[in-house]
Structure 1
Amino acid sequence: MEYIIIKLYVLLIGLIIGSFLNVCIYRIPNNESISMPPSHCMSCKSRLRWRDLVPVLSYLSTGGKCRYCGQKVSSRYALVELMTGVLFLAVFDLYGISIKTVYYSVFISILVTITFIDIDHYIIPDKILIFGLLFSLIFNILFKEVKIKQSILGLILSGGGMWIIISIIELIVKKECMGGGDIKLFGVVGFFLGLKGGLLTIILSIYVGAFYGLIIIIYSKIKGKELSSVIPYGPFISVASIISIFFGDSIINYYLYLIG
């Protein structure tokens, strides 16, 4: 019973953090303060009260509409809250009450924020990447979750390696294939997860992107729509990073078993 209460508490924290991430997703790309002005309706500008800010439940209780003007509210706000809460709970289930849970929960929060900003604006803000690097650096100096040597190698080989590869490809095809933000994100992922985790994420992101591409091609054929030539890669890196967090060791060990 006590363990269930702790899990509900972790879920609640994740939902609340998800609500905060919604603010970051909207305001950071617009260079707005994440603290001022207080949360308000985007349509009527009414300041939201506590009952309007209860994660997921506020959205459901109003039928997905603003309580004051009746304007429809995007379901994505509740989705981000719920997604963050579930991911926090999954991290807790994996690592329990530990330093790892804090470390990977913060990392996942960064990934969720980057994912939706990239979807909306096709950018990955440097300020989020810098925050991620500083957090990981300080955290690992204090708690040694990932050895600093491994973090540095992950940063150089994941970020630097991808920069070299993409630069060569772009030189051959004469056009941009991947944005600078994506390459920097690979570096930050390598810093967070270390060398093995960073390189695994690169490989997994290719598979995630290919799977998404296949689904989009099939969907476009069915609907008779043209494919967009611009696709944000940040979400693929984020999904691959989350897979690495939960299954990275198992995937690497299984691969070593196959080649052994």
Structure 2
Amino acid sequence: MAIGSFLNVVAHRVPAGESVVHPPSACPRCGHEIRNRHNVPVLGWLVLRGRCFDCGEPISARYPLVELGTGVAFALVALRLGADEQGLRLLPAYLAFAGIGIALALIDLDHKRLPDKIVLPSYPVLAGLLLLGWDGDALLRALIGGAILFVFFFAVWFAAPGGMGFGDVKLSGIVGAMTAYLTWGTFLVGAFMGFLLGAVAGVLLMAGGKAGRKTAVPFGPFMILGAWTAILGAGELGDYYLELIGF
């Protein structure tokens, strides 16, 4: 949840080109710095009853929800990987991927873009962390999976300009690598679920009158959610399907 608190800062400051470490967090209305005792994830918001201690300005419920959601996500990652030696070696990489995904999803929902300042450094960072769980076959699979999904997204972006942002293309290599590292079935389901979830959300938005056929809908959150749907268990369906066709 503490990481979730930091991700709230990242999601707010990175799109604005501000430092994520300085100055300390403050109320946007009165400018008073948030006291340490009020910075405790979730509990601080509850103690303040969702308002600034100094001026009473409402504090969005999104902040504690992101904190709590990040804590839950990290717990699910730990449960998925298990407590054996290999799982513990992979834990830093997939916790980092979870944190990166949450920050990017929040920014994409707010600003409809995926900042290079987060996406591009994620490649070497996640690659380095995956090396901790050294598995030659899995690393090769991750490299191939990342390349396949990147090329596919690039082809879609090139063939239909405006239908997809290039930030999605850059993110696709990460999604492909992190899902393929586990299994090809996880890669297959992760890629498919991103498009499926995006399509379902688009239909629901149009049905509710919130969007039209040409309304730009951020795709990054669906890519990330699709990847985690596969990583946390749905990838086994992909493995089963690939077994059926003899792959």
Using the size of structure 1 for normalisation, the TM-score is: 0.84
- Distance in 2, matches of 1:135 and 1:145, equals 17
Give secondary structure in 2 for the equivalent of 1:176: coil
Is 1:119 aligned to 2:109, yes or no? yes
Is 1:70 aligned to 2:56, yes or no? yes
Residue 221 of structure 2 corresponds to 235
Is 1:160 aligned to 2:151, yes or no? yes
Q: Which amino acid aligns with 1:150?
A: R
- Distance in 2, matches of 1:60 and 1:70, equals 14
- Distance in 2, matches of 1:92 and 1:202, equals 22
Residue 4 of structure 2 corresponds to 18
Q: How does 1:41-52 map to 2 (within 5 A)?
A: 41-52=27-38
Deviations 1:42-68 (A, max 9, x none): 211111111111111111111111111
Residue 214 of structure 1 corresponds to 203
Q: How far off its partner does 1:122 sit?
A: 0.8
Q: Which runs of 5+ in 1 are unaligned?
A: 1-14
- Distance in 1, matches of 2:242 and 2:92, equals 29
Give secondary structure in 1 for the equivalent of 2:208: helix
- Distance in 2, matches of 1:20 and 1:138, equals 22
- Distance in 2, matches of 1:150 and 1:19, equals 34
Q: How does 1:1-260 map to 2 (within 5 A)?
A: 15-97=1-83, 98-144=88-134, 147-168=138-159, 170=160, 175-194=161-180, 196=184, 197-220=186-209, 227=212, 229-259=215-245
Q: Which runs of 5+ in 2 are unaligned?
A: none
Q: How far off its partner does 1:132 sit?
A: 1.4
- Distance in 2, matches of 1:257 and 1:211, equals 28
- Distance in 2, matches of 1:144 and 1:43, equals 49
- Distance in 2, matches of 1:217 and 1:140, equals 40
Give secondary structure in 1 for the equivalent of 2:192: helix
Q: Work out whether residues 154 and 199 of structure 1, in 8 Å CA contact, stay in contact via their aligned partners in 2.
A: no
Q: How far off its partner does 1:141 sit?
A: 2.8
Q: Work out whether residues 141 and 177 of structure 2, in 8 Å CA contact, stay in contact via their aligned partners in 1.
A: yes
Quote the RMSD (CA, aligned, Å): 1.9
Deviations 1:143-174 (A, max 9, x none): 32673322221221111122113322x1xxxx
Q: How far off its partner does 1:215 sit?
A: 2.0
Say if 1:226 and 1:151 are closer, same or farther in 2 by CA, change over 3 A.
closer
Q: Work out whether residues 158 and 198 of structure 1, in 8 Å CA contact, stay in contact via their aligned partners in 2.
A: no
Say if 1:251 and 1:31 are closer, same or farther in 2 by CA, change over 3 A.
same
Q: How far off its partner does 1:199 sit?
A: 4.2
Give secondary structure in 1 for the equivalent of 2:104: helix
Q: How far off its partner does 1:253 sit?
A: 2.2
Q: Work out whether residues 186 and 198 of structure 1, in 8 Å CA contact, stay in contact via their aligned partners in 2.
A: no
